[in-house]
Amino acid sequence: MPVYSNIEVKDRDLGAALKNFLKSLLESDAVDALLVPWHLPQDHHIMPTLITDPKSLDGADLLSPCFPLNGAKLASRLTKRPSGKKLGLVMRPCEIRAFVELVKLKQGSLDEVVIIGTDCLGAFTNADFEKFSANVPENSSQVFYEGMLNNKTEGFQGLEPAPACTACEHPIPENADIILGLYGTDPATGVAVEAATPKGETLFQTLGLKTGSQPPGRSQAIEALVSDRIRLRDEMFERVGEQTGSIEKLSRYLSGCVNCYNCRVACPVCYCKECVFVTDVFDHDPFQYLQWAGNRGKLKMPSDTDFFHLTRMAHIGLTCVGCGQCSNACPNDIPLMELFRSVAHRSQEAFNYQAGRRMDEPIPFSIFENKEYEDVVGLASNES
């Protein structure tokens, strides 16, 4: 059973309360280092930063609407081999789910890791965050989280969280050891802290936290939020289906692609060291381009753009967590998240699989199932 406690919030400063909690983790030697979202000193940007000095946490910002990259790849890099140190990873739910998939793929480890997850309030796209931070230079994170928690977004300058966030039905951290709960609480006075695993319970003991019960109303608040997100998600799936329901429509949807491969680089579960699209396989000779153009009368350049995206759909459809970084990275604003999320949802649904749901749930095709797609292969398994 989960164990609950509470972090006191003073002077309505939720950000300070969360930073003080993280400082206690370092000061008590519960962890040796923390990977946290941190304000860069040069400007308003926030990037994941590895911190060992508690004083440096003054610049941490767990609730900023800035989400420039999915930290799962960084967590993979930090945990792929033993370090002999205990690492605390402060991540959004989609980052945790992506990291779970990478661990299953032997690209990371949970052995020396404590995962601290926060209820996710969402984030702006990179472009919209630039506008938001320019218009709200002071206390922009506080304006955002108070607006999201109180459903009062007048201070957002007409901006809305990224589509990946508004259609995400996983706002609560799954597979986190410690959950910092915001929904269904009064964050002006306190934050619910949940020890969701034995590791989390050990941290409670190390920090000497008093245990209590789940805040009343939290479950109902989460249920209502998830229900609304699922409705918006399904509406998104329907729109994308109408826009990409044929090869011609799909080509039109992807027509702005310039083969920059930013989406591949930004994707947290795309981990291959060498991608086939940057090998000689697609380094065509000049005469081939001219021959194809001659056969068809014309040839869109760059070529192979549709094939690139179809290959990525097949490659990461079962592990996609819908974080939206593919869309965030696209220089031509192609709504890639909507397309990939739609395909991934149907692919995962076919296998009764959900990326990042559980560590003990093997990725489809990584194991053999006797009853898998019997109608396709034409075989029926014998039941004993």
d(CA 91, CA 178): 11
Q: Provide the residue type at 218 as one letter.
A: R
pLDDT tens per residue, range 221-257: 999 999 999 999 999 999 999 999 999 999 999 999 9
Per-domain residue ranges of the chain: 3-229, 247-375
Q: At residue 205, what are phi and psi to the nearest 5 degrees?
A: -65, -40
- The whole-model pTM stands at 0.92
pLDDT given at position 382: 56
Tokens at 138, concatenated: 């002071």
Q: What are phi and psi of 347, to 5 degrees?
A: -65, -45
Local confidence band at 35 (pLDDT 50, 70, 90 cut-offs): very high
Arithmetic mean of pLDDT over the chain: 91
Q: How far apart are CA 153 and CA 143, in angstroms?
A: 9
CA–CA gap between residue 47 and residue 161 (Å, rounded): 18
> Residue 226 in contact with residue 171, Cβ under 8 Å?
yes
Mean pLDDT comparison of 1-10, 135-144, 289-298, 347-356, highest-scoring range: 347-356
